[in-house]
């Protein structure tokens, strides 16, 4: 290494230093501490006591963990496609909007700025089974809407419906991806007599597969960590506590309650690492599948 490159390297590290220190202090440090805590019994009021893998053993047989994990996986299975389908449809419409696309893009993204707690409070009213606006709307079409917020069978679909409020963020990403699909490919496909559906399937989807993959991974991770809206609606207020019959007991909610209601920081840390492993496995599967289905621009076929 020359003197110049050494100096540049040092300068580079110096520039990186604030981030490195921040990462060590606020991310890596707490993670390591959490890993240590997961091996202890700790109620925040007395010093941690080492218990080895006891917390992990308990998590494996904890009925509530099974319920919470099942709820979370079901929610994820419903939520991810529910985000991607409408987002893709909206992006397709936006693409045809011509010069007004900028305006509509902004309008579409604005709901994403709504604070999650406010969103939950609003949807608690909209989703009410008796007089909620959503069921009123269904009533106009002759449907009797379900009790979205009080019937355990409909609580997760209700939360998925609520999550569509923020579909704009995914739609904006798809719009950017759609604009990058070369027009020549569509022209060639049309010349070959491809129907709009075949064009979508063989041109659009491969063209935006990198973005689709990204949104699937990000939405999956977000779904597996679902907390704020469900906690606000079903667990936040004393009057609403556990009125969902555990249908909205998601993994992070269970973790949070174990930590801050039961004061079991060690056990909650073990649950956190359990979720980390689940997310890592699911993401690894997605990465593996991406090699087959995702195409990047400039990539050799």
Partner 1 sequence: MRRFLVTAVLPLALVAGGCGGVGASGADAPNTLVTMGFGLPDEHATARLAVFRAAEPGVDLRINEGAFDEQQFLSSVAAGDPPDLVYAERRKLGSYAARGAVLGLADCVRRHGVDLGQFRDAALRQVTHRGEVHGLPDFANVRLLIVNNPVVRAAGLDPARLSTADWPGLAELTDRLARLDGDRPTRLGFDPKVPEFLPMWAKANGADLVSDDGLAARLDDPRVVEAVRVTADLVRRQGGWASFKAFRDTFDQFGAGNAYATGQLAVMPMESWYLNTLAANSPDVDVTVAPFTDRAGVPLTESGGQAWAIPKGARHPDLACRFLVTMTAADTWVAAATARRDALARAGKPYGGTFTANRVADERIFREVFDPRGNRVLERAVPQVLALQDKAFAVAPSPAASELVRAWEGGVNRVLTGRQQPEEAMAQAQREAERALKRVGGR
Q: Which residues bind partner 1 (CB under 8 A)?
A: 7, 11, 14-18, 21, 40-46, 49, 51, 54-55, 58, 124, 128-131, 147, 149-152, 238-239, 241-247, 257, 260-267
Residue nearer to partner 1 on the CB measure, 60 or 110: 60
Cα dihedral sign, 118-119-121-126: positive
Residue nearer to partner 1 on the CB measure, 129 or 210: 129
- The C-alpha atoms of residue 10 and residue 80 are separated, in whole angstroms, by 43
Residue nearer to partner 1 on the CB measure, 105 or 254: 254
Residue nearer to partner 1 on the CB measure, 238 or 292: 238
Q: Are 178 and 95 contacting, i.e. CB atoms less than 8 angstroms apart?
A: yes
The H or E element spanning position 40 is strand 40-41
In whole angstroms, how close is the CB of 136 to partner 1 at the nearest point? 12
In whole angstroms, how close is the CB of 156 to partner 1 at the nearest point? 14
∠ CA 245-229-165, nearest 5°, is 120
The number of residues in the chain equals: 301
Residue nearer to partner 1 on the CB measure, 95 or 246: 246
Residue nearer to partner 1 on the CB measure, 111 or 129: 129
**For residue 201, what is the DSSP state?**
I
The H or E element spanning position 50 is strand 49-50
Residue nearer to partner 1 on the CB measure, 157 or 207: 157
Q: Are 297 and 211 contacting, i.e. CB atoms less than 8 angstroms apart?
A: no
Q: How far is CA 225 from CA 149, 200, 253, in A?
A: 20, 32, 9
Residue nearer to partner 1 on the CB measure, 105 or 156: 156
- The C-alpha atoms of residue 271 and residue 55 are separated, in whole angstroms, by 8
In whole angstroms, how close is the CB of 207 to partner 1 at the nearest point? 41
Q: Provide φ and ψ at 188, rounded to 5°.
A: -60, -40
The region, left, alpha or beta by phi > 0 then psi within -120 to 50, assigned to residue 143 is beta
In whole angstroms, how close is the CB of 273 to partner 1 at the nearest point? 14
In whole angstroms, how close is the CB of 38 to partner 1 at the nearest point? 10
In whole angstroms, how close is the CB of 169 to partner 1 at the nearest point? 28
- In the chain the first and final C-alpha atoms are separated, in Å, by 37
In whole angstroms, how close is the CB of 82 to partner 1 at the nearest point? 22
Name 227's bridge partners: none
In whole angstroms, how close is the CB of 68 to partner 1 at the nearest point? 13
């Amino acid at each position: 290494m020359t003197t110049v490159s050494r100096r540049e390297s040092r300068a580079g590290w110096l520039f990186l230093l604030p981030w490195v220190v921040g990462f060590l202090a606020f991310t890596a440090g707490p993670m390591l501490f959490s890993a240590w805590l997961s091996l202890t019994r700790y109620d925040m009021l007395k010093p941690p006591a080492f218990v080895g893998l006891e917390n992990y053993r308990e998590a494996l047989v904890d009925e509530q963990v099974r319920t919470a994990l099942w709820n979370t996986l079901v929610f994820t299975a419903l939520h991810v496609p529910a985000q991607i389908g409408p987002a893709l449809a909206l992006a397709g419409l936006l693409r045809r909007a011509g010069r007004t696309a900028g305006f509509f893009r902004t309008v579409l993204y604005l709901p994403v700025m709504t604070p999650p707690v406010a969103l939950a409070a609003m949807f608690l009213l909209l989703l009410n089974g008796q007089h909620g606006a959503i069921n009123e709307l269904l009533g106009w079409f002759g449907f009797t809407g379900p009790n979205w917020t009080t019937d355990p069978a409909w609580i997760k679909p209700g939360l998925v419906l609520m999550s569509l409020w923020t579909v704009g963020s995914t739609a904006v990403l798809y719009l950017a991806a759609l604009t990058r699909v070369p027009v020549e490919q569509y022209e060639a496909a049309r010349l070959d007599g491809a129907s709009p559906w075949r064009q979508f399937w063989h041109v659009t989807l491969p063209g935006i597969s990198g973005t689709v993959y990204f949104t699937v991974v990000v939405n999956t991770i977000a779904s597996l960590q679902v907390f704020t809206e469900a906690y606000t609606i079903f667990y936040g207020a004393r009057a609403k506590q556990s009125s969902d019959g555990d249908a909205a007991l998601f993994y992070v909610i269970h973790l949070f309650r174990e930590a801050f209601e039961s004061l079991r920081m060690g056990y909650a840390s073990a649950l956190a690492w359990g979720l980390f492993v689940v997310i890592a496995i699911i993401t690894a599967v997605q990465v593996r599948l991406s090699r087959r289905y995702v195409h990047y621009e400039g990539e050799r076929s």
